[in-house]
Structure 1
């Protein structure tokens, strides 16, 4: 929060803080909105509510900023289906909270297991983790091995994430049985190599 306050005080324009993974991180700067007129927080229904195809998000800020953003609304229309879906998910927040807690537990266990296999899994506060391998060749071998076993991941060279290089594979956290299967397959890879 201290870093964001510093940025807000030095910025000559608006500062947008991405809280699209708020549901997993649990940290927010909403409390700074009243003190900093240049703060806009963006959140999403897309990522953590299972509505990725609807591309639905929202902004949190002071009334003046929201009014300015609303002027752009004609260019970023929200479909009726997206509105209805958002309304529905908000009625089931307890269900989603339980799901997020479950994913956090599965994620933390998965990180631990991957590291025990000798790979370098980074701690994460989201519903995915990054695993770094020794070099591009090893990353490609692991990626191909997983693919042969029916496990599809996102390698760094796919360039969805700027700055991510060829030594990384991104794993989205699924059900516990799915992640156990990934660990089982990676364990088999380690034994073979």
Structure 2
């Protein structure tokens, strides 16, 4: 019975998270970011402002969450699904590039909104941190004999490199105007390339 209650509670939390982030993005697109208040998002999602604050610390965080939703789990799933014949470094890099650049994973109107608002850009870049734990678990599943602490170090390094690439991509050239700088796949691959030896070394004992 306890397990069932816990499961229902988690489902309710997930549903509330989804409702809040979708409401936040919809209102931001309709009204403009500056015209959206936390109270508006909470009302649109059917919860109280106090409940909202239990899930997100700002309107910006809620807005970008709608874009980043499921990406972190998608990266972990893609790494896990790669054939054992594919090296860990290649599996990790391609999973990240696919999830961040596949048009099916993107919402162009939302990305345009994000790149034109400094606070949203910062929040968007910070969403990369959410991949650390799912990615560490995925690495541990691929490399069953690897020390879990090593898996977390590798995942944290990958997360940091991804954040650096995203920061470079959305950094404004002048003032508030942002023109995404360079090819995002290229930026991601370049930032992640120095980590390939560490990922290869972690994988070597498995063979």
Please, what TM-score do these two structures have when normalized by structure 1?
Answer: 0.30
Instruction: Please state which structure has a larger fraction of its residues in strand.
Output: 1
Please, what TM-score do these two structures have when normalized by structure 2?
Answer: 0.29
Instruction: Please state which structure has a larger fraction of its residues in helix.
Output: 2
Q: Which has the higher contact order (CA 8 A, sep 6+)?
A: 2
Find the structure with the greater CA-based Rg.
1
